[in-house]
Structure 1
Amino acid sequence: MPRAEPIRLRIPSLGIDTALLPLGLGPDGALQPPPLGQGGTAGWYAAGTSPGEKGTAIVTGHVDTPDGPAVFYPLSQLTPGATVTVERADHTTATFTVDRVTNYPKTNVPDEVYAPATRPELRLITCGGAFDRTRGGYQDNTVAYAHLTR
């Protein structure tokens, strides 16, 4: 598929239906999550691959906020074979099939999460694992890997 801005992401098996905000990198070079005040909305790395385009597209969202569960709260329950759809601004829909869901320590996220792919792939990323009040947050990232199927 040619490049097109993604506007909406749906994961029917989890009841997720969200608009997508364009996101960038922060001063530290890390991908910035959506604003905490928009916990019900996911975002995509706009300077990278768009979902459906050849390569690795990145979508991220909060698992929770101080107000409660957020858009990707159920992401850890996603299973291989599940469908993820992304509506795009060019009026096409990219349909992905989930390959696997994995937790990584935030201090040791492997390069494969962000590495370029030879086919259209999607990564869905949120916080995961245990919440550590002493350290001020979740210590892991939950990453869902998916590939374009139509």
Structure 2
Amino acid sequence: MVLVVSLVALVAVPIFWYGREAGEQPASVPEPAQTVPTRSTATPPTTPSATAPSVKTRAADLPTVAAEAQPLELIVGKAQLRMPVVPTGVAADGQMELPPNPARIGWYRFGPGPASTTGSVVLGGHLDSREYGVGPLARLSRTRPGDPIELRLSDGRTLQYRTEAVRDVDKQTLALAVVFDRSGLRRLQIVTCGGEYLPDRGGYQENLVVTAVPVE
């Protein structure tokens, strides 16, 4: 799966997306996102489910990654989802880099870190893949507002979040600037692919976006 995103200003907005419910996939940053439809089986499509965001910027324009605690594991109890988090950046083709294995989720390391006092920590991953099959994010759609989410960090801490919104967004209308916000209130944004899978139209047509706020 791959996320499709147009990075208008990587320094201001990160780059990638995922899907939704029972099938998920990544989305793009500055443009629309995609979501994954609720599906119960693990029959992966014959082509990638999502695409990464395209970024028009130079490596020198990327912000410096702060030397702080990094996310190691995402835990969403209601979705029976527990998966390792790996730092990701920008791929050679300008899209947001995503872990190839849908059993892992990427943290956009050029955006705010979990210890930041402002902005959105963005996690994104593939819903499925031809090589590995369907991943844990296929269960992310089970999440509902109010559900707890945990993010375990490299310094031993575990940050607690409360789900604020679960949305399926057409990838042509996804507000990437909002998802990858660097200066607003602290948020956790989890994105994957969703919606109907149409091979002749580029794969999944939506993104599943789960937004959570810190529990003080």
Using structure 1 for the length normalisation, give the TM-score: 0.89
Q: How much is the aligned-residue C-alpha RMSD, in angstroms?
A: 1.8
Runs of 4+ in 1 over 6 A off after TM superposition: none
- Residue type of the alignment partner of 1:104: V
Query: 1:1-150 alignment to 2 at 5 Å?
Result: 3-27=68-92, 29-35=94-100, 38-54=101-117, 55-66=119-130, 67-110=132-175, 111-150=177-216
Greater radius of gyration (CA)? 2
| Contact map agreement 1:62 1:73 (CA 8 A) in 2 | no
| Partner AA of 2:102 in structure 1 | G
Deviation at 1:144, TM superposition (A): 0.5
8 A contact 2:167–2:209 mirrored in 1: yes
Of structures 1 and 2, the one scoring higher in RCO (CA 8 A, sep 6+) is 2
Task: State the Cα deviation string for residues 2-60 of structure 1 (Å, max 9, x = none).
Answer: 9411111100111111111111123454322211xx11111100111122422210001
Rounded Cα–Cα distance in structure 2 between residues aligned with 1:126 and 1:85: 18
State the shift of 1:106 in Å.
1.5
**Unpaired segments ≥5 residues, structure 1:** none
Mapped partners of 1:43, 1:25: distance in 2: 11
CA distance in 2, matches of 1:9, 1:90: 15
Counterpart contact for 1:106–1:141, Cα < 8 Å: yes
One-letter identity of the residue aligned with 1:60: G
Point out where structure 2 has 5 or more consecutive residues left out of the alignment. Answer: 1-66
Contact 2:162–2:215 under 8 Å retained in 1: yes
When residues 99 and 122 of structure 1 are mapped into structure 2, their CA distance, relative to the original with a 3 A threshold, is same
Q: CA deviation at 1:131?
A: 0.4
d(CA) in 1 for partners of 2:147 and 2:183? Answer: 20
Give the number of the structure whose residues are more often strand, by fraction: 1
> Residue by residue, what CA displacement relative to the aligned partner does 1:41-91 show, whole Å, maximum 9, x if unpaired?
111001111224222100011112224321211122210001110110111
- The two structures have a TM-score, normalised by structure 2, of 0.63
The answer (yes or no) to whether the contact 2:188–2:212 under 8 Å persists in 1 is: yes
